[in-house]
Amino acid sequence: MSGLKRLAITTAIAIGTTMMVRAQQRNELLYPQQPPELAALQRKLPKIDMHVHPFEGPFTGPDGKALSRECFPTLFCDAPAPLVQKRGDSLKYTLEAMDRNNVVLGYLGGDPNDVYRWVAAAPNRFFPAAEIGNPSATDFARLRADLKAGKLKGLGETAPQYEGIAPNDPRLEPVWQLMDEFDVPNFIHTVGMGGPSPKLRIQDGHPQLLEEVLMKHPKLRLSVENAGFPFTEETISLFYRYPTVYGDLSTASWIVPRPIFYDHLKKLMDAGLGKRLMFASDQMVWPEVIDLAVDAIQSAPFLSAEEKRDIFYNNAARFLRLDPQKSN
């Protein structure tokens, strides 16, 4: 959530500044890049980013300076200074990163007012969706009206985990009802990690908590953020049981050491789920992570060219039910 994530990041600065370690410049936590000629070739192929936020940014520290992107396990890594240095930079550099990597569409989830501002500034580049955090503070009447009017085409990020609310909490029933009524997709923060919110509990991110929801609403088009990382086996069983559930490969592709992300991705692929995984970046106020997310998929040695095309584009096009004549 825009305000929630911003607050969580800011709250963590005091802790994070003492945790920063220059050792990350010398070990495997920083990701190798693919050869420039290969990167240039792959950037020409169309992609859909299934996890983008319209945050104006930047996130700033106590000194007022823009905060570099996060990394686990140390929360803050010695990444280069972020591109976003002032309000307005985020949209500019996000579009540049999308153009550089031929990302033809971004699933844009945030406060509807912010979403509409980005959509107006860059027509046909974004799939507009509304974020949902605490259901008690959500204006469901407005969301319903905007869905009915076609201003919104989806929901998400739905992130009750940041409020200490599990996905099977009855207070989220209006979300699932809207999805059923308007047959729209949604991506949900059901994952074992997140920003340093004091309310976030790992147990609330267990993907199998979605089973109660899916038993009651079996037709929901849900995308599980980070494909349930690090609950890989549990995610596999959820996907096997509920064929309308997909997963995005977003933050985990750049925020954790690449070997553990590849272990997660390979297990999902070995389980036969390559048609249900979608490229995503979770771009918040660091547009440079779009490049990192692209590289993580493109450089995966166990993915075939066909599998990469499915992840980068085809699976998302199917999930979003895009008109094939307008998809390219």
pLDDT in tens, 73-90: 765 567 888 999 999 999
Quick: pLDDT tens for 196-215: 788 999 999 999 999 999 99
- DSSP, collapsed to helix, strand or coil, labels residue 159 as coil
How large is the average pLDDT for residues 44-69? 92
Q: Please state whether beta strands 70-71 and 75-76 pair in parallel, antiparallel, or not at all (unpaired).
A: antiparallel
Report which of residues 303 and 36 the model is more confident about: 303
Closest CA to 96 of 286, 313, 252: 286
Amino acid residing at 19: M
Q: Which two tokens stand for residue 66?
A: 């823009």
Indicate whether 117 pLDDT > 50: yes
The C-alpha angle with vertex 81 and arms to 115 and 109, in degrees rounded to 5, equals: 15
Q: Which two tokens stand for residue 195?
A: 């920003």
In this prediction, residue 6 carries a pLDDT of: 52
Under a CB-based contact definition with an 8 Å cutoff, are residues 114 and 56 in contact?
yes
Amino acid residing at 164: G
Which residues make beta-bridge pairs with 130? 110, 155
Looking at beta carbons, which pairs linking 87-95 to residues 24 or more positions away fall under 8 Å?
Answer: 87/56, 87/57, 88/56, 89/57, 89/58, 90/54, 90/55, 90/56, 90/57, 90/58, 90/285, 90/287, 91/54, 91/118, 91/121, 91/122, 93/287, 93/288, 94/52, 94/283, 94/287, 94/290, 95/122, 95/125
How far apart (Å, rounded) are the C-alpha atoms in residues 238 and 210? 8
In this prediction, residue 192 carries a pLDDT of: 84
Report which of residues 36 and 300 the model is more confident about: 300
Q: Which two tokens stand for residue 149?
A: 């009017």
In this prediction, residue 281 carries a pLDDT of: 97
How large is the average pLDDT for residues 99-108? 97
Q: What residues contact 161, with CB distance under 8 A and at least 6 apart?
A: 167, 189, 190, 191, 194, 200, 201, 204, 205
Percent of the chain with pLDDT over 70: 85
Only one residue has tokens 């147990």, namely 203
- Range with the lowest mean pLDDT among 104-118, 119-133, 190-204? 190-204
Q: Which two tokens stand for residue 93?
A: 């550099």
In this prediction, residue 49 carries a pLDDT of: 98
- Write the CA distances from 251 to 34, 146, 192, 228, 280, integer angstroms: 19, 28, 12, 11, 8
Report which of residues 229 and 195 the model is more confident about: 229
Under a CB-based contact definition with an 8 Å cutoff, are residues 316 and 50 in contact?
yes
In this prediction, residue 39 carries a pLDDT of: 65
Q: What is the gyration radius of the CA atoms in the chain, in angstroms?
A: 18
Indicate whether 189 pLDDT > 60: yes
Indicate whether 191 pLDDT > 90: no
Only one residue has tokens 């507009």, namely 128
How far apart (Å, rounded) are the C-alpha atoms in residues 223 and 237? 15
Structural domains of the chain in order of their starting residue, each with its CATH number: 2-21+45-320 (3.20.20.140)
In this prediction, residue 16 carries a pLDDT of: 38
Indicate whether 52 pLDDT > 60: yes
**How sure is the predictor about 21, in pLDDT bands with cuts at 50, 70 and 90?**
very low
